[in-house]
Structure 1
């Protein structure tokens, strides 16, 4: 049977490598059906569904809500040479043909179910909070990566109650170039690439992981070409996490140059390496180049500026959409985020409420848990929110000007989109 793991080492109680055990695990992975929806071997496999917080005061009414979300469960982005990728992923994605394998990075059947669940959870929450009307007016944006469009459609199906209703909603897709800002667009934004993109950003990640004491894993032979340890760490984590989510408890671990490397260590190393660039950007004052247009859209929506305002605004993105935003809002190190890589189907939900006294207040939840913006403590009025986020917001035109429209040649380590 096929497996998308490379050669593996599983240590028996005696400490010796057992290749037979590894082979059995591979065979089990290929033949074992995925666990029921909601299963998986780690919290990374599926976030808790979105939820609204308590109203900020008795009698407060929900006015509108905005969601920034990661796509659902997907197949891994990279395979290893000779790993039998197609066999391992046969029948796990909505291809329309029985037994057809997922392509790399495709939303799986489970991922689509996660987003439908999130949509249904939001629908119930909006109803319970007494949002003025239904059906709701919605505005949706996604990236040019197909899994974000597929995720958006699935969430809308749960939110609006049917596939037919979801199909009637226009989803604005951001294509490569100056209109793409839902993740760090180093390919287009020359200023971003010069300051923190390409090799520079990954060197920052490599140094951060080394300082944290994580061993290098460069001897692994990836089926795609990656030239630095940061990409190796991140892609190994991605590959192994996908396997772990679809066959929990297999007990097969990748081995580092210095010995056994468990999943938790691999996840921590990848997280430290990936987020280092965004922490550096915050420190040096150029994080606005990463999150500016998204923050501006959120402010305009929550404050009701710019003409007709929908009931629900939805940005269907990636972990590299959420991670820099959480860093920018000073939420990354705080609970419930706690420095953890955003799981599949993660959500950051902004809700605008009007109190009985007529004051407008904004509240946030991350994966269903209430969070308070450090720069906009309770009561977070819209005026306080504008002041708190002004340093991060950037109009699209201004963002393009700052980027200088410098075309930068993309390479294997320029874009890191998951």
Structure 2
């Protein structure tokens, strides 16, 4: 799925989001299925301070049928028509968003999907034979390359709503998400500190090693986004060797000592023990039997939490891989042989680390963000959840 200058079909992303919602729902809520209505309101507030026309898109997978499509402002689902090869234009799914200082309320259906918001221009979506083609702005020829946009991700099902901000692919628009619980109280996530938007880009520009090359601008000087390091490597903005020194030190350390992984917070007795032999880290269980092995990863595998750090949806390899991915991105594997390390005070302290994620977390009001795929290890993600939500919120925050 993650190829150089590739298009991304929605089907894979939606499946992952739906699965995540289902897994979170198990044991997370005793709310009866009938308590969550077919749609809930999503209040979108434009505090951006920008005068651009905002466009909203609600795209994803209908959970009841598994069909891909989009929802209009009323929450009515519209399946995508058949795609083509080459991809053909998708129907216009844009919803006119609120002007600066105003709010608009739309409805969220039982979906696993994304809420896109673009400034000044509508996004270009196309349909391939495998589903919706997502914007892929690491591709210089992508038609959305010069549009300022971002997205939030959510799952709404019979067990409630999970709604998160995301910088897994890029950091572009300052925004936050929220939910009003059944008791009337609210919770929010993803809000930057005052000055955090400029603070992030200034910090990235000042970071040695090519990290400032992740920033993309428009010809008129408008800052559009910073690509996540995975895509920065695809474009050549970051060297493929950017994590090699840290990887080599980790491999050397655990050739003569043991890395202990306790992947489940509610199962403290479930432990796996990693030791390096050559280019392989083998993990054994308490009986000494090898349960899974990992080839020595590269930066691509670490930033994408895939390939040599693939994380299948199982109860052994996937949870261990998630833990390793978080440890590499946060550079905690050398300082703590017991993983996951859940105390943020020790994150990103090595000179070789995911500086993109480091600077994002440093600018968040509560320190939480989805800056890489498994940033939820240890609950450091920007997520709101409620089992019986009254209303969800998406706020476009100030760019200054």
Using CA pairs below 8 Å that are at least 6 residues apart, which structure has the higher relative contact order?
Answer: 1
Higher share of residues assigned helix: 1
TM-score normalised over the length of structure 1: 0.27
More strand by share: 2
TM-score, L = length of structure 2: 0.28
